[in-house]
Amino acid sequence: MTMPSPLCPWRMQVHHITQETPDVWTLALLCHDQYRWRAGQYALVSINNSPDTLRAYTISATPGVSPFITLTVRRIENGVGSGWLTGQVKRGDYLWLSDAQGDFTCDRDDNDRFLLLGAGCGVTPIISMRRWLATYRPEADVAVIYNVRTPQDVIFADEWREYPVTLMAEQQATLGFLEGRISREVLAAVPDIASRTVMVCGPAPYMDAVEQMARELGVTRVRKETFFTPAAAPASSGLKFTTLHPAREFYGPVGTTLLEALESNRVPVNAACRAGVCGSCKTRVLSGEYTVSSTMTLTEKEIADGYVLACSCHPQSDLALA
């Protein structure tokens, strides 16, 4: 069997599927080759085993600890990737994954104090790193804060009983949960917070709020998961972008990436890693000035022909796109 995409060369078989919460499932995968990843990393998944549809999901397993490679996925209404993975994929099916990607990991941090924070499905890299620290850095001082909507939404509920964790529920808080959302007061109660490496994953507003409050409390090491980028509202002025097929004009603010400009104006573009690695957002620029921060996966001929990775393209003037 040939791989569906050169970007996803790892063939894995679904061993079993576990429902974590009413809308979250974990797929346990077997890989017959030696797949390598670091705790906290993610992989691209070929959706419907198609070369044209890729989505990024955190590997919730921990290398050297977990018996399977696992993806923990929240079903999103009308979500192409999550709908397929949680509604159609079954035991025995095969998935194709990319190499592990991302630097939201703790294994190379020389600090011995951590504060790990996750909200909702953002807990997937947090549990992976928590297992890793417990196994390979047992002397580390690790605090965890996990935010959910209700107690029924706790992912990996049984496993969290093994680790010290502060659980917070926005609604219906029961025994063992703090009620409400993350706050400065909750963070300030973490012992020696200013000396810790703070690692946070969740919705962008949540991560931004945690970072601001943590820095106000003296934290100097804050790391956020960034393999997704929320689309901004479309701009009405700034740099002008012109596409030929279909013919249209739209704007993006100075300092935007080409991918952000495309997405905020609802121009169809395939994007997965958003880090200049996977190559799925390849776009051709016909004219205009720009700089690039990554050309990974592009050939010399493609670069000469004006192809860029939209996530790593930084327009310096108006651009015309193919």
Cβ count near 293 (within 10 Å) = 12
pLDDT score, position 297: 84
Tokens of 270: 């395939």
The answer to whether residues 271 and 314 belong to one domain is yes
Q: How many CB atoms lie within 10 A of CB 261?
A: 28
Q: What is the dihedral of CA 12, 224, 142, 187, to 10 degrees?
A: -140
Query: Which amino acid is present at 292?
Result: V
Our count of domains for the chain comes to 3
In tens, the pLDDT along 55-114 reads: 889 999 999 999 999 999 999 888 889 999 999 999 999 999 999 988 899 999 999 999
Going by the DSSP 8-state scheme, the letter that residue 4 receives in this structure is S
Same domain, 21 and 70: yes
State which residues of the chain have pLDDT below 70.
1-4, 52, 226-232, 272
Task: Evaluate whether residue 234 is within a structural domain.
Answer: no
Sign of CA dihedral 5, 8, 9, 10: negative
- Considering the domain architecture, whether residues 203 and 248 belong to the same structural domain is answered as no
Q: Identify the pLDDT of residue 232.
A: 66
Same-domain status, 147 and 176: yes
| Alpha carbon distance 195, 112 (integer Å) | 9
Q: What is the CATH number of the domain that holds 283?
A: 3.10.20.30
Q: Which helix (H) or strand (E) holds 186?
A: helix 184-188
Assigned domain for 200 exists: yes
216 and 245 share one domain:
no
Strands 42-46 and 54-58: antiparallel
Expressed in percent and rounded to 5, the helix, strand and coil fractions of the chain are: 20, 35, 45
Neighbour count for residue 103 (Cβ, 10 Å): 12
The last residue of one of the domains, among 36, 65, 97, is 97
Asked if the structure places residue 106 within a domain, the reply is no
| 139 and 213 belong to one structural domain | yes
DSSP 223-247: EE--S--PPPPPBSSSEEEEEETTE
Which residues neighbour 129 within 8 Å (Cβ) at sequence distance 6 or greater? 39, 40, 62, 105, 106, 116, 199
Position 230 scores a pLDDT of 47
Per the domain annotation, does 81 fall within a domain?
yes
Rounded CA gap, 5 and 43, in Å? 14
Q: How far apart are CA 155 and CA 226, in angstroms?
A: 21
Residues 207 and 252 in one domain: no
Q: What is the pLDDT of residue 70?
A: 98
d(CA 277, CA 7): 9
Q: By residue range, what is the domain housing residue 121? A: 113-224
Residue 1 falls within a domain, yes or no? no
**CATH assignment at residue 154:** 3.40.50.80
- The whole model's pTM is what? 0.77
Do 124 and 158 belong together in one domain? Answer: yes
Query: Does residue 207 share a domain with residue 244?
Result: no
**Residue 93, domain CATH:** 2.40.30.10
- The rounded distance, in Å, linking the Cα atoms of 46 and 253 is 32
Same-domain status, 121 and 218: yes
Say what the pLDDT of residue 3 is: 67
